[in-house]
Amino acid sequence: MLKLGEKIIIVGDSFEQNLPVGDYGYIIAYDRNNDSVFDYIIRVPKANRQFYVSARDIEREEKLLALEAERIEREALIDFALATRNEELFKRIMNGESTAFKDGGEDKEVMSRDEFIRQVNLKAWI
């Protein structure tokens, strides 16, 4: 649930009430009526009006900015991979895998035979 006074952006108009899609607004109240499909009452300064909206029609500004930053980063990595002809990086980005480098080998400590038997006996005793 979004907080009162939080800055939001209108991303949809599912009930066709002529919402200014793409404009920002602020949550000014919750609609507590159980019979209503609307979740929030928002204030849109540009339109100088209040609107009743459902939760799926609005999104937090921070979340949309983070998604846009991820999209721009992905596009920049694709451009870099194409410019440097780095086929491995390009395939990794296009397949949706993480761009962080993965450890090739795990640094597991090898147990001695006595330590292994002690661990097995301990678990069997429990």
38-94 pLDDT per residue, tens: 999 999 999 999 999 999 999 998 999 999 999 999 999 999 989 998 888 888 988
10 Å CB burial of residue 8 (0-12, 13-18, 19+) is: buried
Query: For the sheet containing 49-53, what is the strand order?
Result: 49-53, 40-44, 24-30, 7-10, 58-60
25-40 pLDDT per residue, tens: 999 999 888 888 899 9
The CATH superfamily of 7-60 is SH3 Domains (2.30.30.40)
Q: What is the pLDDT of residue 115?
A: 82
Domain layout of the chain by residue ranges: 7-60, 63-94
Crossing angle for the helix pair 61-84 and 87-94, nearest 10 degrees?
A: 150
User: Could you tell me the pTM of the whole model?
Assistant: 0.62
